[in-house]
Amino acid sequence: MTQPILVVTCRYPKDVEDRIDRDYNARRNPNQLPFSQQELLSAAAGADAMFITLGDQLDSEFFQRVSPTVKIIATYSVGFDHIDLEAAARRKIPIAYTPGVNNEATADIAMLLLLGASRRAYEAQELVRTGAWKPLSPDMLLGWQVGGKVLGILGMGRVGQAVARRARGFGMKIHYHDRSALPAEIAGDAVYHKDPSDLLRASQFLSLHAPETPQTRHFLNAKAISLLPPGAIVVNTARGGLVVDEDLIAALKSGRVAAAGLDVFEGEPKLHPEYVSLKNTFLLPHIGSATIETRTAMGMLALDNVEAVLHGRPAPTLVPALSWKVA
């Protein structure tokens, strides 16, 4: 029996690669750089399915030109802002994604960023790595304790809830905004804010966990920042597009925001260069899901979706109609 043709745009953990090699005739990207759109379209000619990443931008033109043989596109991500969903729907190509398997790993990184930013970890590590460490006076490298502080969580989905569990262990008080209040058995002692502006006013620490949509894009702008308590600390492990870089950078320079921990950036892997020049930023290269366990689970879920569609079965995690918004 002829194996289905699967376009594979990246390399994955070993168990995922083994499954691809076993079950599919894989058309792989031979280059280190991502496929260009034309290369991706050429690879998709006659293919049954595609397995892509956030680095593959599928716009309206792509869907106008993609081969009619493509029955499903699976993205190795929870986010899908790199895909024109309306254009995909017009071609009746289902889009699969990988929710529900990266919650714990991403929440770990959110706490790493929160602690790294609040304890000035970048500055401290720089002293050690550059050989500039000398006896410190008691007033040097003073950070901010997290215990007893309010952590505001924008987007109380799976990741937001996992962050809340961890933050409670550090003695933090949890406040949140989402489309609606969580059931009491899930929310626990977390305080719900129907209006995100009220959440901002309460948040000594703010952690972003909302998807990027037209409604949430550039949520954290100068106006939103002005509502935060002076000296607040901002963490983002969601999407870079939630933040207006220039406004956050200005607040970091002035001290209006004391520090920021960022794992995602608008336009990544490029980022606003002024983030790098600031001492009060703790920066990571979008590694929220980067554990062997999580990356393997993501790949297996993506392939589960491909297999289901190609065999006429219900797929476990197709992208739903998205109505999430910050009111």
286 among known catalytic residues: yes
CA–CA separation, 258 and 195 (whole Å): 24
Read off the amino acid at residue 4.
Answer: P
39 among known catalytic residues: no
177 among known catalytic residues: no
Residue in 227, 232, 261, 238 with CA at minimum distance from that of residue 150: 232
Give per-residue burial for 276-301: e unless 16+ CB within 10 Å, then b: eeeebbbbbebebbebeebbbbbbbb
**Residue 113 in contact with residue 262, Cβ under 8 Å?**
yes
Helix or strand (DSSP H, E) at 252: helix 245-254
- Exactly one of 158, 209, 286, 295 is catalytic; which is it? 286
Residue in 138, 152, 167 with CA at minimum distance from that of residue 210: 152
Q: What is the DSSP letter of 274?
A: H
Task: Count CB-CB contacts under 10 A for residue 65.
Answer: 12
- Exactly one of 239, 256, 295, 307 is catalytic; which is it? 239
Q: Which two tokens stand for residue 180?
A: 């609606």
178 CA to centre of own chain? 17
Helix or strand (DSSP H, E) at 283: strand 281-283
- Exactly one of 104, 266, 268, 274 is catalytic; which is it? 268
CA–CA separation, 100 and 103 (whole Å): 6
Q: What angle do CA 139, 145, 147 make, to 5 degrees?
A: 155
**Known catalytic residues?**
239, 268, 286
